[in-house]
Every structure is written in C-alpha cells, then in structure tokens.
Amino acid sequence: MLALYACAALFGEVQYRAAKAGDTTPAYNVVNPDARYQPPSAAHWLGTDNLGRDVGLRLVQGARIAFHVGIVTSLIAIPLGVLLGLLGGYFGGRVDSVVVWLCATVASMPGLLFILAISLVVGQGLAGIYLGIGLTTWVGTCRTIRAETMKHRDRAYVKAARVLGYSHARIMFRHILPNVAHIILIQFSIRFPSAVSTEVFISFLGIGVQGEPSWGIMINNARLRLWQGVWWEMTFTTLAIFMLVLSFNHLADWLRDRLDPALRTER
C-alpha cells in the first residue's frame, strides 16, 4: 500500500514539474464546466468536482503534497530531536536541564496555534507548513532518544571508548547513535502520518497550501456539496487519508517488532 502511495506521489511530482516547466495548466487543474459533478465513470474513475476537474488526478497531487510534508518536516524535526536528545542524555547535568526545559516549553504550547502562527509569519504555502510542523514536533523524538542515551552512556562499550580517549562527539555519533537508530526509524513512521494529518487540517482552514489540490482543500470544497448528493470527492479523499495513516501505523508496528532490542530478546 505504501509503495502504491509512493508511486502516486512520484507520478504527481512528474506531472507537476512537467506542467511548471512547460508553463501550462496541469491536467488536474483544467476546468471543464460541461463535466461538473460527474459521478465515478469510465471517463473519470473517481468522478469530478464542482469545476469539472478529475478527482483522481487531484488525489494523486494530494499524495504528492502529503509526501512532501511528511518527508521535509521529518528532516527538520528528527535531526533536531535526535541532537538535543543525545546531548541531554549523554552529558546530563545542566545540559540535560536545558534540554528538558526546552522540551517542556515547546510541549506546553498549543501545538496547532504555534504552527498557525509560524505559517502566518512565513506566509501561506508549504514553506510555512514545513517550518511550523517541523519546529513543533521534535519533542517526542528528543525525549525518546534522551532516555535511550541515558541507558547507553554507562554501558561497557561507552566506558571503553572514554578510556581510549575518544571525543564526546565521536562517542555520541559513532557509538551511541547507531545503537538507537532503530528509534529514529520508528519515530519517522509514527510522525509521518501525524504531519500529513496536521497539514490536511491547516489546509482545510485555508492557511496551508494555495493553488494546489491538498487533501484538506479537497475536503473543504467537498463538504459544501454533500447535501446535494455529491459524495465521491469527500469519500475518496477521506479514504485516501485513512489508508495512508493506517499503512504507516502498520509500518511503525512492524519496525518496532523487528528493531526493538527488548522485543527481539523476548522472541
């Protein structure tokens, strides 16, 4: 299922780049008044919306945006959380106190309001969403990595590295980090759908993606026409979000079962 989503996102990226390079209107944004509100058919497998645009093609673009948000925000949040978690867990003392204070401060802020504030400052569009989600969702990763690092810092291999005169940076990144890398993979699989869901909600409010068919924008448009019996846009968009989140949840469980040392020991 995730491979299907990845292929759809890749196809959407190619389609988007080709239209942008050729300075033409992409197929998913072509307005056709004669094809408005068409239900699923051979011509339009998932139907059309209020402007006659193909819902299937727009869902593919929504997958492209979802993967952009999930990957880019993870590249911001996970390195930040891992770095702070390693520093706090390894050094302890005042460094750990600062890390704990940062975590508590960010966690105490209303996450959605903070994301909206950053998006409004940076401007509407994906850049604001990237920064807003990336800078507010690192706390969970930081706390998990910090706890694991505190368990590893007193183990024999770390003590041996200190005796050999290795630097703190080398011990953290060459010795401890590989032993907690499985947590990073699990955290990625957990936060990816969370970031996508947040982007959908922000776009639903009209603050996120502009001019592109984000799933949030599609849901916002479709909700106004449900009472008219136009069910397909809302149904297929919701189903696409549900299946993506479900697939990543299964991936997170699978990674935890395969990579968590405690579970491997039990087996």
What's the pTM? Answer: 0.88
CA gap 209, 215 in Å, rounded: 10
* Domains recognised in the chain with CATH numbers: 48-262 (1.10.3720.10)
Amino acid code (one letter) for 9: A
Question: What pLDDT does 125 receive?
Answer: 76
Half-sphere exposure in the Cβ direction for 147 (13 Å, CA): 6
Q: How confident is the model at residue 261 (pLDDT cuts 50, 70, 90)?
A: low
Question: What pLDDT does 139 receive?
Answer: 93
Question: What pLDDT does 226 receive?
Answer: 82
Residues 40-62 have pLDDT tens digits of 988 888 989 888 899 999 999 99
Question: What pLDDT does 263 receive?
Answer: 56
Mean pLDDT of 237-257: 89
Q: Measure Cα distances from 255 to 78, 83, 84, 190, 262 in Å.
A: 17, 22, 23, 10, 13
Residues 100-150 have pLDDT tens digits of 999 999 888 887 788 778 777 877 778 888 888 898 889 999 999 999 999
DSSP states along 67-121? HHHHHHHHHHHHHHHHHHHHHHHHH-HHHHHHHHHHHHHHHHS-HHHHHHHHHHH
173, with CB counted inside 10 A (0-12, 13-18, 19+), is middle
Query: With 60 as the cut, is the pLDDT of residue 266 above it?
Result: no
Q: How confident is the model at residue 260 (pLDDT cuts 50, 70, 90)?
A: low
Find the length of the chain.
Answer: 267
Q: How confident is the model at residue 264 (pLDDT cuts 50, 70, 90)?
A: low
Angle, vertex CA 75, rays to CA 218 and CA 88, nearest 5:
130
Mean pLDDT of 244-263: 80
Question: What pLDDT does 74 receive?
Answer: 93
CA gap 149, 232 in Å, rounded: 49
Question: What pLDDT does 170 receive?
Answer: 93
Residues 165-208 have pLDDT tens digits of 899 999 999 999 988 888 888 889 888 999 999 889 888 888 77
